Structure 1
Amino acid sequence: MGIERLSYGDEVFEYEVIVRRDLTNKVQIHVHPNGLIQVDKPDGANESDVKKAIRKRARWIKTQVDIVRDMRAHALPREYVSGETHFYLGRRYRLKIEQSSSPLSSTKLLAGRIVVEVPNPNVDRVRGVLRRWYKERAADYLGRRLEIVASDMRWVDETPHLRLTTMKRQWGNCSPNGEITLNPALVKAPRDCIDYVLTHELCHLREHHHGLEFYQLLASRLPNWKAVKSKLDSMAELLLV
């Protein structure tokens, strides 16, 4: 169905409708951390079903969008200069930029700081070096946590293949063939938030939808998942920049 519009009061919100063949129950609505509104509809649902669901939850949608706007208003764009705050595993670190005497660049954690050494410390170079470091850390740490979390789930025969991809809307997803994709920015989050995302995606290996059975399974593995998800959502604007 593509991009549609919702009028509520004096505002007009755009939302994207996605047909989900794995969705067998009602229309589901998500407001992502970047403010985008996504509406998942079962294959058999028609346009009137979608509009009815949107109208019914219009007030909730506006509230969630307002929360996102407020968080984004306080999230300053990164300048990649010394003294700036960056996150790793839920902790804040001060960025320290040092000019390297060699042509090679390096990044390391040192005494509460993320130290980046580059031969030419301009913004683009520092950003690139730091992003590569986060992706390397994500491959190592998220891979190890995935193996640990998966080992405790009886329906998982072997640890799924992990792929890292920068995503604007999601922390992760699970493909129909069982491959798990994670946003490398997830390594900036606290461990309980990381484990929530991993648990969520691993539950999709058994329940390939967001229906009642899926959430029952998720709750059986992580009873406080709603609180952890809320915590992660509240940090999204700080972690995804």
Structure 2
Amino acid sequence: MSFSYGDEQISFERVLRHQGSSKALIKVYPDCRVVVSAHEDACNDDVLTAVKKRGRWIYEQLRDFRKQLEHITPRQYISGESHYYLGKQYQLKVIEDLSQAPGVKLLRGKLEVTIKQKSPEAVQKVLVDWYRVRAKEVFAKRLDAMLEQALWVNERPPMRIFSMKTQWGSCSPNGRLTLNPHLVKASRECIDYVILHELCHIAEHNHSERFYRMLAGVLPNYMKVKDILDAKVSEFVS
């Protein structure tokens, strides 16, 4: 959905609000997404009216976040940069060594990347490959742990790792989970939330009231965890 404010057309996503006040809840995230939580019985016209009333606030939030994004410099993959793994920040240290095979080590608060010849592209490739391997291992362990809570799942679902720009995970109609390797940069709590979210889709494919009741039943603070994860999108995916 979208509305006009001044000379700008602002788009927003409507999602289901299954508890709390009957009013629409409007959030603007650091990556400039606008998400409106509204009850299932609220018609689109009423939601749009509520959003327009907060038009000035939404516009100002977007303006401020856009200014912040302008100052986020693209990663250069050089020593001294900060990179995430399992919710913690690590300083990147690039080591050039012709005698060693390219690889990554976590050592004393640093991500040590060894390559044969220094170049941003080479460092990026080694890091991306390392994150993917770690993601496969971490996600498999967390999936096993979350299946102990997801009593509605009869058998371990197949899982694949696939990079996505706008999603942390997805669940196909036949129950296959797809998880974003960038998610391994987040905390275990955030990883568990995404996995549980997708496991709920095995029983309920839509974001219905039943879906959110199921999710809240296994993770009561899921909204808080979701907000933490959403606030880090630009840092994790860049």
What is the match of residue 17 of structure 2?
A: none
What is the match of residue 128 of structure 1?
A: 125
> Is 2:96 aligned against 1:102?
no
> Is 2:77 aligned against 1:83?
no
Cα 1:16/1:197, change in 2 over 3 Å:
closer
What is the match of residue 151 of structure 2?
A: 154
1:97 deviation in Å? 0.2
User: How far apart, in 1, do the equivalents of 2:236 and 2:31 lie?
Assistant: 11
Is the contact made by 1:151 and 1:159 (CA closer than 8 Å) also made in structure 2?
A: no
What is the match of residue 237 of structure 1?
A: 234
1:103 deviation in Å? 6.8
Tell me the amino acid that sits aligned with residue 57 of structure 1: V
Deviation by residue 1:115-160 (Cα, 9 ceiling, x = unmatched): 0010111011111110000000000001110111012211111221
User: How far apart, in 2, do the equivalents of 1:124 and 1:88 lie?
Assistant: 20
1:31 deviation in Å? 7.1
What is the match of residue 24 of structure 1?
A: none
Is the contact made by 1:164 and 1:182 (CA closer than 8 Å) also made in structure 2?
A: yes
Q: Structure 2 regions of 5+ residues with no counterpart? A: 15-25, 37-42
Cα 1:105/1:239, change in 2 over 3 Å:
same
What is the match of residue 9 of structure 1?
A: 6
Cα 1:67/1:190, change in 2 over 3 Å:
farther
> Is 2:210 aligned against 1:213?
yes
Tell me the amino acid that sits aligned with residue 219 of structure 1: A
How many residue pairs were aligned? 221
> Is 2:185 aligned against 1:188?
yes
Tell me the amino acid that sits aligned with residue 132 of structure 1: D
Is the contact made by 2:113 and 2:127 (CA closer than 8 Å) also made in structure 1?
A: yes
Is the contact made by 2:163 and 2:181 (CA closer than 8 Å) also made in structure 1?
A: yes
Matches within 5 A, 1:223-234: 223-234=220-231
Cα 1:70/1:177, change in 2 over 3 Å:
farther
Aligned residues with identical type, % of pairs: 42
User: How far apart, in 1, do the equivalents of 2:168 and 2:68 lie?
Assistant: 18
